Amino acid sequence: MPIVLGIETSCDECSASVVSLDSQTLNAQVLSVSTFSQTDLHRPYGGVVPEVASRNHLETLQTQIENALTKSAKTWTQIDAIAVTNRPGLVGALLVGVTAAKALAYAFKKPLVAVHHLEGHAASIFLSRLNQSDDSATLPFVYPQLIAVVSGGHTNLYVAPHPPTQWPMDFLKRQLVARSRDDAAGEAFDKTAKILGFPYPGGIWIDQMARKFSKTSTNPPSFRFPRALSQSGELDYSFSGLKTAVQLEVDSLRKKGEFDARLPELCAAIQEAIVDALLMKMKRACERFSCRSLALVGGVAANSHLRERLTNEWKSFGLSREPIFPPLEFCSDNAAMIAAAGAFRLMQGEGLTPNEDRFLTLNAIANPEV
Can you count the helices (H) and strands (E) in the chain? 13, 10
Q: Is 267 in the site for ligand KG4 (CB under 6 A)?
A: no
Span from 15-23, 147-155, 158-166, 230-238 in contact with ligand KG4 (CB under 6 A): 147-155
Pairing of the two strands 176-178 and 155-160: antiparallel
Task: Report in angstroms how near the CB of residue 207 gets to ligand KG4 at its nearest.
Answer: 4
Residues in contact with Zn ion by CB under 5 A are 151, 333
- Interface size with ligand KG4, residues (CB under 6 A): 19
Q: Closer to Zn ion by CB, 12 or 249: give it.
A: 12
Cα separation of 359 and 32, whole Å? 26
Nearest to 33 by CA among 332, 342, 336, 341: 336
Q: Closer to Zn ion by CB, 265 or 333: give it.
A: 333
Q: Which does 189 bind (CB under 5 to 8 A by kind): Zn ion, ligand KG4, none?
A: ligand KG4
Q: Which does 6 bind (CB under 5 to 8 A by kind): Zn ion, ligand KG4, none?
A: none
Interacting residue with ligand KG4 among 36, 110, 303, 337 (CB under 6 A): 303
Task: Report in angstroms how near the CB of residue 79 gets to ligand KG4 at its nearest.
Answer: 25
Sequence-separated (6 or more) residues with CB below 8 Å from residue 174: none
* CB neighbourhood size of 51 (10 A): 10
Sequence-separated (6 or more) residues with CB below 8 Å from residue 216: 264
Q: Closer to ligand KG4 by CB, 119 or 207: give it.
A: 207
* 3-state class (DSSP) for residue 82: strand
Outline where 124-184 has alpha helix (H): 135-138, 171-175
Query: Cβ(270)–Cβ(206) under 8 Å?
Result: yes
Q: Closer to ligand KG4 by CB, 2 or 186: give it.
A: 186
Task: Report in angstroms how near the CB of residue 140 gets to ligand KG4 at its nearest.
Answer: 26
**Residues found near ligand KG4 in the complex (CB under 6 A):** 11, 151-153, 186, 189-190, 201-204, 207, 298-300, 302-303, 332-333
